[in-house]
Amino acid sequence: MTTLPDSLTLGSLRVDTPVVLAPMAGITNAAYRRLCAEQGAGLYVCEMITSRGLVEGDETTRKMLVFDELETVRSVQLYGTDPVYIGKAVEILCADFGVAHVDLNFGCPVPKVTRKGGGGALPWKRGLLAEVLEHAVAAATPYDVPVTMKTRKGLDDDHLTYLDAGRIAQESGVAAIALHGRTVQQAYSGEADWDAIAALVDHVDIPVLGNGDIWEAADAVRMVEQTGAAGVVVGRGCLGRPWLFRDLAAAFHGEDVATLPTLGEVKAMMRRHAELLSEHMGEERGCKEFRKHITWYLKGFPAGGELRHQLALVDSLVTLDDLLAGLDDDAPFPERELGTPRGRQGAPRKRVVLPDGWLDDTDGRGSHLHEDVDETTGG
């Protein structure tokens, strides 16, 4: 049996539990990161921002770079296709925002991103990938800030890139690589291929983090035991379940824990989440931001359709309190929900949308396309 790691080392950065919160657009803002961090140790990554937006001083991009006062380790995921912009953006993050860790997104499957050669499309261009990573590492090195990258298996089953990406990451001085065990074509459908994660672990000497289908702490343990990964990246599994990080922290320190909160305990977590959002954004906007989380929190619990509808329109903490009072505190956790997918799933894409001629060569140095200033999607 594999001995589980109890920490994660990324260059000069040590994370007390080998668990990383995946950046999710519109989800992993400062309030949610604080909420998750209150549950258990780990690395909590800011929503993805664009290198171009940051370099050009885009107001929306800079507003996303908000950190909670108790956020001692600032971690940001950066998106981009231009090595020079990426390098400049990394320097801004290190010098002006005190960021302690930068992750580069090469996993996003969204067509508007891959159409421009970004996200999960970029690793097909091995030379361009190396350029981007080298610029990022060079910019971060004077600040002793580790750079990591996240990627997928490849474009589709006929165009796999992850082993080359791992080699290039290692050669470029990247501190670790996270692999989502799906292709771009799969998006979030089907099952994650943990065998690919194991293959990457065998292929490189830098830490590999596994991502995909971690719904419970037991899944994380199983993934690490099966693959030899140095840690895990958790995305959709924590939606409406911040206490998953409590279970994960316990699991990596040798305890078998599966938190099954009553509806009353979930209500308290919902209230805390809305309160943190209100502190960071103002009450009205914070409550509106909270609406999207309600379905995830209440998944499987008894709550009438009318009450759910009213909660989805909540606009103040007082209204939220009144509505939450209508839920049964003693309702047990719906155990049938354990291990089931949460968040977006969908069907595989018919094809991966790429720039014209993208597959014609695998080098691509100097062939980057200009990303949008406000590209803010996840992967």
Catalytic residue annotation:
108
* Nearest alpha carbon to residue 65 among 81, 82, 51: 51
DSSP for 306-349, please give it. HHHHHHTT--SHHHHHHHHTTS-TTPPP-GGGTT---S------
CA 199, 145, 366, 48 torsion: positive or negative?
positive
Do 50 and 188 touch, CB atoms closer than 8 A? Answer: no
Place of tokens 């690490």: 224
Do β-strands 13-15 and 8-10 pair in parallel, antiparallel, or remain unpaired? Answer: antiparallel
Instruction: Tell me the CB-side half-sphere exposure of residue 93, using CA atoms within 13 A.
Output: 41
CA distances from 214 to 11, 210, 224, 269, 312 (A): 25, 9, 11, 21, 27
- φ, ψ of residue 308 to 5 degrees: the values are -60, -40
- Beta-carbon contacts of 129 under 8 Å, excluding residues fewer than 6 positions away, are 106, 122, 123, 165, 168, 364
Q: Provide the H-helix boundaries in the chain.
A: 30-37, 51-55, 59-64, 83-96, 111-114, 126-140, 162-172, 194-203, 217-227, 244-251, 263-281, 283-298, 305-311, 317-324
- What does DSSP assign to residue 160? B
Going by DSSP bridges, is the β-strand pair 101-106/75-79 parallel, antiparallel, or unpaired?
parallel
